[in-house]
């Protein structure tokens, strides 16, 4: 599900950034009565996410533009697939083309890599989750794309959940002190996650009452030890630069969750183009 109030705000900001006062090229060249039929084409194989967002771009520019979507969110498409057709004002199509493509390309790239991660560990009982390493201003869309691809979301922002990280622990003077202070000032409905770098830190976090423990940059041997100690007591999350090549072995340690910043922070956009194929009226 998407919060369309927030999505519309992203689109309006994107249009203001791209068009500013007016589209000098389109406004001079294209008559306001001109209508066209265009199609959106996948130029490589991948998982589609964000068609509904791209559609909204054109609807905001002109409510009479008709977007026919040919595939479903989360569908894997092949090169050459026409994923949507756009019919209506030529000016609106050209005004919105770049923003619509930027968003759907980015979101589909995230969905594609998320599907790849999911499929690699589909037979192992582990969740692959994203992080807050998202493009500023686009987090709601990028985390949505992760879910479309089949992975899961970590906390949305700093207000949503507690995660006591190494710098918090250093600043306050220890894991137990941090957890005690958090729990004394926190609603009972919110879980407490703590980042640790050692087995000793894990034991301290468990004893202090953590609900979730993030194993930061631990090697596989220590992760296995952590699972033996923490199983049934806390949720265990592996984190820290885990590559796709390391995914299976990390999952086999028995951790519950693996967080992967690469799902959003270093994604290649899926190659999608928009082509005007027919002038309906000029």
At residue 100, φ and ψ (nearest 5 deg) are: -60, -45
Of 73, 130, 195, 204, which one is the catalytic site residue? 195
Of 98, 116, 176, 233, which one is the catalytic site residue? 98
> Please, which residues have CB within 8 angstroms of residue 17's CB and are 6 or more apart in sequence?
none
241 in a known ligand binding site: yes
187 in a known ligand binding site: no
Kind and range of the H or E run holding 6 = helix 4-19
94 neighbors 131 (Cβ within 8 angstroms): no
Q: Kindly compute the dihedral angle of the four CA atoms of residues 281, 32, 56, 19, in this order, to the nearest 10 degrees.
A: 140
262 in a known ligand binding site: yes
89 in a known ligand binding site: no
Is 195 annotated as catalytic? yes
Q: How many residues does the chain have?
A: 282
133 in a known ligand binding site: yes
Closest CA to 269 of 95, 103, 98: 103
14 in a known ligand binding site: no
Of 116, 133, 203, 252, which one is the catalytic site residue? 133
Is 133 annotated as catalytic? yes
98 in a known ligand binding site: yes
Is 32 annotated as catalytic? no
Of 116, 118, 165, 225, which one is the catalytic site residue? 165
56 in a known ligand binding site: no
Q: Which residues are catalytic?
A: 98, 133, 165, 195, 216
> Residues marked as binding for substrate?
98, 131-133, 155, 165, 195, 216, 239-241, 260-262
């Amino acid at each position: 599900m998407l919060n369309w109030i927030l999505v519309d705000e992203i689109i309006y900001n994107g249009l203001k950034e791209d068009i500013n006062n007016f589209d000098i090229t389109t406004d001079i060249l294209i008559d306001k009565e001109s209508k066209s039929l265009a199609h959106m084409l996948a130029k490589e194989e991948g998982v589609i996410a964000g068609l509904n967002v791209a559609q909204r771009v054109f609807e905001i520019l002109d409510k009479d533009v008709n977007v026919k979507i040919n595939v479903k969110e989360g569908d894997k498409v092949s090169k050459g697939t026409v994923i949507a057709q756009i019919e209506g004002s030529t000016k609106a199509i050209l005004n919105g083309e770049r923003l619509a493509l930027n968003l759907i390309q980015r979101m589909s790239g995230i969905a594609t890599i998320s599907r790849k991660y999911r499929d690699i560990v589909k037979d192992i009982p582990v969740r692959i989750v994203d992080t807050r390493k998202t493009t500023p201003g686009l987090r709601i869309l990028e985390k949505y794309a992760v879910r479309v691809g089949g992975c899961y979301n970590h906390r949305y922002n700093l207000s949503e959940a507690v995660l006591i990280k190494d710098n918090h622990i250093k600043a306050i003077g220890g894991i137990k002190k941090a957890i005690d202070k958090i729990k004394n000032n926190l609603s009972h409905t919110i879980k407490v996650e703590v980042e640790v770098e050692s087995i000793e830190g894990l034991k301290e976090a468990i004893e202090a009452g953590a609900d979730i423990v993030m194993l930061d940059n631990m090697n596989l041997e220590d992760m296995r030890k952590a699972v033996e100690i923490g199983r049934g007591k806390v949720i265990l999350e592996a984190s820290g630069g885990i590559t796709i090549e390391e995914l299976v072995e990390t999952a086999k340690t028995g951790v519950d969750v693996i967080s992967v910043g690469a799902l959003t922070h270093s994604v290649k956009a899926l190659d999608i183009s928009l082509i005007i194929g027919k002038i309906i009226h000029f």
